[in-house]
């Protein structure tokens, strides 16, 4: 028997538990916290590594050194991927000793692999044909993966923002006090924030300095939790003005009570600062990849089982 590597199902479970889960769970349980500390996210992949190693080792052929070694190596490699996500893509608040986190997770993976190998020797081993349920699981994974990918980008951008709430320069709507105008101190890019429950997809246009109309560029995945105690802002668009001065802001939506304010563009660390501008469809597709791989793997195994005498689907 050859060494068995993790399939799409195991990889999907690992990615879900170590990338979006720390962000989503923290958001649900700490709604009044401003930023998520890095330490609260790193515990997830470190503590998940021995569980992954145990599952892999239990399924390996009965050769102890190879089973424990391969399981530990795979678990450590996936741990490194998850740690890299929180170091370069979504760098949360705080510092971390990355080397210690990786070595600690690897040590736990060795222990998990030993336990998994010992338990796996007592479990019956039966070759089962691939079930049609794999298509259902894969389809559900596609849907939830797409939604979780977008949530991970949004929450990651919010918690990776540097600095205080953005300075306001004016805005439009009942909340704004500047009657649809804002004063830009310098030329450059400015963020347009929706206030409260205002629609996140306004058609905003800026005029001034002549008759030229400048259309705001929408933000694909809108990070929120900006603003202060009076109101919560979400970054929905960006507009660029060629010179300082007073400009007129017109944001068209179906909600007559919607308000929008103009402020400094949030400074977001890491690659997530660019990901929020990617097309939403691309982010959905990236999140759907594990589910698509699960469907493809199910189709492959069912085709192989149909070609094997004595097996049924």
pLDDT in tens, 200-216: 999 999 998 666 788 99
pLDDT band at 164 (very low <50, low <70, confident <90, very high): confident
* Same domain membership, residue 139 and residue 81: yes
Global confidence as pTM: 0.90
Q: Any residues with CB less than 8 A from the CB of 181 and at least 6 apart, and which?
A: 170, 246, 247, 248, 249
* Same domain membership, residue 250 and residue 148: no
Q: Closest Cα to residue 206, out of 246, 259, 265, 250?
A: 250
* Same domain membership, residue 291 and residue 149: yes
Tokens of 59: 């399924």
Query: How confident is the model at residue 32, as a pLDDT?
Result: 65
Query: How confident is the model at residue 287, as a pLDDT?
Result: 96
Tokens of 137: 């699981």
* Same domain membership, residue 111 and residue 98: yes
Higher pLDDT residue, 232 or 295?
A: 295
Residue 313 belongs to some domain of the structure: no
Query: How confident is the model at residue 6, as a pLDDT?
Result: 86
- How does the average pLDDT of the chain come out, rounded? 89
Residue 301: C-alpha distances to residues 48, 67, 295, 305, 313 (Å): 28, 23, 10, 6, 10
* Same domain membership, residue 143 and residue 73: yes
* Same domain membership, residue 127 and residue 58: yes
CATH number at residue 170: 2.60.120
Query: How confident is the model at residue 64, as a pLDDT?
Result: 85
Query: How confident is the model at residue 90, as a pLDDT?
Result: 97
* Same domain membership, residue 283 and residue 230: no
* Same domain membership, residue 90 and residue 224: no
* Same domain membership, residue 122 and residue 187: no
Percent of all residues in the chain with a pLDDT value above 90, rounded to a whole number: 69
Question: Is a pLDDT exceeding 50 seen at residue 313?
Answer: no
Tokens of 302: 């069912």
* Same domain membership, residue 178 and residue 262: yes
Residue corresponding to tokens 């000793």: 97
Residue 296 belongs to some domain of the structure: yes
Q: Any residues with CB less than 8 A from the CB of 98 and at least 6 apart, and which?
A: 83, 87
pLDDT band at 62 (very low <50, low <70, confident <90, very high): confident
* Same domain membership, residue 190 and residue 149: no
Q: What is the number of domains present in the chain?
A: 2
* Same domain membership, residue 218 and residue 138: no
Residue 3 belongs to some domain of the structure: no
**Residue numbers of the domain that contains 107:** 8-160+274-306
């Amino acid at each position: 028997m050859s060494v068995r590597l993790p399939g799409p199902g195991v990889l999907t479970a690992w990615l879900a538990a170590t990338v979006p889960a720390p962000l989503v769970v923290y958001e649900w349980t700490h709604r009044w916290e401003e930023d998520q500390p890095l330490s609260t996210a790193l515990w997830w992949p470190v503590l998940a590594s021995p569980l992954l190693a145990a599952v892999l080792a239990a399924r390996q052929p009965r050769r102890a050194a190879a089973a424990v070694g391969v399981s530990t190596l795979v678990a450590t490699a996936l741990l490194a991927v998850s740690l890299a996500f929180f170091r370069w893509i979504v760098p949360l608040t705080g510092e971390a000793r990355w080397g210690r986190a990786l070595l600690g997770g690897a040590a736990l993976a060795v222990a998990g692999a030993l336990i998994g190998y010992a338990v796996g020797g007592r479990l019956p081993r039966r070759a089962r044909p691939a079930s049609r349920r794999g298509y259902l699981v894969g389809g559900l994974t596609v849907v939830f993966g797409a939604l979780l990918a977008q949530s991970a980008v949004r929450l990651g951008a919010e918690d990776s923002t540097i600095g205080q709430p953005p300075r306001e320069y004016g805005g439009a709507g009942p909340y704004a006090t500047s009657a649809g105008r804002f004063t830009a101190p310098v030329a450059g890019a400015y963020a347009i924030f929706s206030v409260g429950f205002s629609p996140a997809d306004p058609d905003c246009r800026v005029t001034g300095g002549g008759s030229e109309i400048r259309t705001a560029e929408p933000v694909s995945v809108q990070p929120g939790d900006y603003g202060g105690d009076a109101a919560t802002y979400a970054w929905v668009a960006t507009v660029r003005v060629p010179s300082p001065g007073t400009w007129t802001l017109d944001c068209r939506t179906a909600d007559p009570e919607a308000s929008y304010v103009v402020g400094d563009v949030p400074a977001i660390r890491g690659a997530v600062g660019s990901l929020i501008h990617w097309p939403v469809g691309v982010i959905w597709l990236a999140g759907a990849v594990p589910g698509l791989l699960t469907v493809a793997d199910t189709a492959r195994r069912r085709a192989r089982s149909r070609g094997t005498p004595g097996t049924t689907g």
